[in-house]
Structure 1
Amino acid sequence: MQAAATTPAAKLSMTQVLLCGAMIVTLSMGIRHGFGLWLQPITMERGWTRETFAFALAIQNIAWGLAGPFAGMLADRFGAFKVLIVGGLLYSLGLVLMALSTSGLAFTGSAGLLVGMAQSGTTYAVIYGVIGRNVPAEKRSWAMGVAAAAGSFGQFLMVPVENWLISGTGWQNALFYLALAALLILPFAFGLREPKAAGPVGHQQSIMQALREAFGYRSFQLLMAGYFVCGFQVVFIGVHMPSYLKDHGLSPQVATYALALIGLFNVFGTYAAGSLGQRIPKRYLLSGIYALRSVAIVTFLMAPLTPTSVYIFSAVMGVLWLSTVPPTNAVVAQIFGVQHMSMLGGFVFFSHQIGSFLGVWLGGKLYDMSGSYDIVWWLAVAFGVMAALINLPVRETAIVRPQVAAA
């Protein structure tokens, strides 16, 4: 006998979801992408080591990852709107306190814990949950690519803006202006206010059932392991590359252009990844992205370091930067469905953030110990090869649930 079902509430329009979701991701991802520009002015004025700054951003990434599953649970249960409102307010508060912090502990609490928690409620896991529930499965990967491309455009747009703010108003005032920008998340959150469902539709899982199923499923474990590598690579490069380039005699303007190029080319990379995810197996797409990242890093390290080589590397890495996000999340929805998608996406992203924590923290720690970033660059290469191999056995087909089969 089949489980009783009720008629679901009307869905939001795909245009509305993509427009509001894209603007929120543009703001939330764009603001954080330029944080590496603050490393030198803050550490020089406060008299801190690079490890102090890097540790705060490492805590930010781990807090983002830890809070992500809970933000996802709340968004799945009560709707993304409420989570986005709280996240936007926390983001603004964290940026203000980041500017006012005068000790490493206070900076870790503001730039680390508060901003990290805010990002968990204003970025991909929550937005992709809304997309999963309101966009048809045959367009889901493409729609996720559009949202990710918006985040990439935010990175391209915000880096020169943040550099201009730091140069023109000072690093503290620049953070105050960003705090005001973060409040713009709130009006766009109203566009993602989903109607309440009339009742359960088909088979419904509890949170614990969904977690036991996902963590016991081999492909979910492999996706988490691959996403760990993504976090390690992109956050290490995003935070430490400006200082790496300055250490080698290149001007701060080169670093600004490099981060902006990453954001610009990521627009094309994430959109292309979302579109390709509708046409080819996503495991092959993910494996290829990770392999190409390792090739790009090795080529960058072996070539003479010039502004031209930096710009070429940034463009290539930009294409590959967040291109893992749409296919990874689309596979999660494809395997497990959309009922608990924000929560499961949050757990996969938690693995990403463990990698982010290690990438940004080890970057500062090993630099202070050795005076060089070389060890971390080569760790990024080795992890990329590992992730390319890990993603190949992922099974993308929908999981067969015994209780559904019995029904």
Structure 2
Amino acid sequence: MHPAATQPLSLKQVLVCGAMIVTLSMGIRHGFGLWLQPITQEQGWSRQAFSFAIAVQNLSWGVIGVFAGMLADKLGAFRVLVAGAVLYALGLLGMAFSPTPLLFALTAGVLIGAAQAGTTYAVIYGVIGRQISPEKRSWAMGVAAAAGSFGQFLMVPVEGQLIARLGAHTSLVVLAAMVLMIVPLAFGLREPRHDSVAVRRHQTIGQAIREAFGYPSFMLLTAGYFVCGFQVVFIGVHMPSYLRDRGLSPEVASYALALIGLFNVFGTYVAGSLGARLAKRKLLAAIYITRAVAITLFLVVPISPLTVYVFAAVMGFLWLSTVPLTSGIVAQIFGVAHLSMLGGIVFFSHQVGSFLGVWLGGYLYDRTGSYDIVWYIAIALGVFAALINLPVKESAIARPAAQPA
């Protein structure tokens, strides 16, 4: 066991190591939709079986993310990141060699979900919140989110080529080896021991949770994040199959997912930068209503590679732009002492939405032969999320006195 660092972490070190970790973790997961048809066709499984495993993955990520955030707040991010990397590699190997839908759900679902809880935004943003000054925090969170988007842009075409050249199983083994690169990067996020304990003496975990759940704006943010998860995971997992069903080539789907990642680099960076100057709640409302409009137009116009690429670019700009804004509001309201945990709680709602989005996509497709109903639900939810984000209060919560731990 390596002792915690004694020197403060620099802005550059936090951003470089955090961004590379998110690039690997998020980049790999964004390509999982590319395995839907190869695995289901080879194994003779339904699309619902694959969708259920990915749905379990998102739910596992959400549930375990709360506890991963608690551990990261208490012990520092380093240990959580290392454990997450090992679980990720084991989950990818299980995804490659699972002979039954149940085992596939346990590995691609539970294991990888737990791994993502320990290697993505809640843990990384906790380090950013504790190590970077408030005036630069929103921007830094945007940079980290943009890194995840770059990971999608970089990794989805790579994963597509790996599948084409090596096959579905061997390509997953290669990814399992790649994800272990998170371990050396985690050494760059070992926080100074005095920093990792000093910020949380005013509240216990229980006090922080009760305060958050008793604050209406926290609940509104949590409900809005549900919609984000529903939309992006449904599109990310099922759009490749939707496009193939409409007669477009697999390359169109790969390029579309890559475009989502490319434009998300700009969208998340812009969102983080604007969040430092403008009301984050209004930016969130604008993002959700624009998503609803974009999906509506995508369904209305005749489908072609061009319309797919335009839709992918627009959705990409909006894809993870909610992440730095939502996390930034949580930090503004409650401070950074329990940021990873509270971010994990909000993200749990996101993952419940993800579970429903990906599972309903497979379930309703198997029942109706179409994704249309889920597209319509995504539009309605976008309008709902825009409306409930507007009344959110972003100012720091009023605490009459420090609560003894």
Deviations 1:67-123 (A, max 9, x none): 001000000000000000000000001000110101000100000000000000000
Q: Is the 8 A contact 1:203 1:404 kept in 2?
A: no
Would you say how many aligned residue pairs link Structure 1 and Structure 2? Answer: 398
The CA deviation at 1:402 is: 1.6
Shift of residue 11, structure 1, vs aligned partner: 2.4
Query: What's the counterpart of residue 36 of structure 1?
Result: 33
Q: C-alpha displacement at 1:197, in angstroms? A: 1.1
Instruction: Give the structure 2 partner of residue 110 of structure 1.
Output: 107
Map 1:56-67; keep pairs closer than 5 Å.
56-67=53-64
- Of 84, 89, 92, the residue aligned with 1:92 is 89
Contact conserved, 2:200 with 2:337, CA < 8 A, in 1?
Answer: no
For 1:138, the equivalent position in structure 2 comes to 135
Residues 119 and 289 (structure 1 numbering): CA distance in 2 closer, same or farther, change over 3 Å?
same
Q: Residue 253 of structure 2 aligns with which residue?
A: 255
Change (3 A) 1:179 1:59: same
1:296 alignment partner in structure 2: 294
TM-score normalized by the length of structure 2: 0.97
Question: 2:351, 2:72 → 1: CA distance?
Answer: 19
* 8 Å contact from structure 1 (residues 294, 380) kept in 2: yes
CA distance in 1, matches of 2:133, 2:170: 44
Find 2:343's aligned residue among 339, 342, 345. 345
Tell me how far apart the structure 2 counterparts of residues 169 and 118 of structure 1 sit (CA, whole Å). Answer: 25
1:387-406 aligned within 5 A: 387-404=385-402
1:182 aligns with 2:179: yes
Corresponding residue for 1:4? none
> Which residue of the partner structure matches residue 357 of structure 1?
355
Q: How far apart in 2 are the matches of 1:146 and 1:253?
A: 29
Q: 1:22 aligns with which of 19, 23, 47?
A: 19
1:6 maps to which residue?
A: none
**Whole-Å Cα distance in 1 between the matches of residues 303 and 200 of structure 2?**
58
Secondary structure, aligned partner of 1:231: helix
Alignment partner for residue 205 of structure 1, among 200, 203, 206? 203
Instruction: Please tell me whether the aligned partners of residues 87 and 114 of structure 2 are also in contact (alpha carbons under 8 angstroms).
Output: yes
Q: Is the 8 A contact 2:69 2:123 kept in 1?
A: yes
Which of 73, 78, 103 is matched with 1:76 structurally? 73
Query: Partners of 1:393 and 1:15 in 2: how far apart?
Result: 35
Give 1:403 shift.
Answer: 1.4
The letter for the 2-side match of 1:59 is V
Residues 405, 120 of structure 1: alpha-carbon distance in 2 compared, 3 angstrom cutoff: closer
How far 1:404 moved relative to its partner? 3.5
Per-residue CA deviations over 1:203-237 (Å, capped at 9, x if unaligned) read 61000000000011000000000000000000000
Find 1:156's aligned residue among 129, 153, 157.
153
What per-residue deviation string (whole Å, max 9, x for no partner) do you get for residues 168-187 of structure 1? Answer: 00000000000011100000
Aligned counterparts of 1:179 and 1:45: Cα–Cα separation in 2: 21
Is the CA contact (8 Å cut-off) linking 1:250 and 1:307 kept in structure 2? yes
8 A contact 1:91–1:114 mirrored in 2: yes
| Alignment partner of 1:217 out of 210, 215, 218 | 215
The one-letter code of the counterpart of 2:373 is: I
Describe the superposition over 1:373-400 as per-residue Cα deviations: whole angstroms up to 9, x where unpaired. 0000000000000000000000000001
Partner AA of 2:289 in structure 1: A
Amino acid of the residue matched to residue 57 of structure 2? Q
Task: Tell me which of 117, 125, 141 is aligned to 1:120.
Answer: 117
The amino acid of 1:77's aligned partner reads K
Amino acid at match of 1:61: N
RMSD between aligned residues: 1.2
What SS class does the counterpart of residue 403 from structure 1 fall into?
A: coil
> Counterpart of 2:155 in 1: which secondary structure?
helix
Q: Report deviation, 1:166.
A: 0.1
How much does 1:201 deviate?
5.5
Structure 1: gaps of 5 or more residues = 1-8
Give the Cα–Cα distance (whole angstroms) in 2 for the partners of residues 331 and 203 of structure 1: 22
| Contact persistence 2:199–2:336 (CA under 8 A) | no
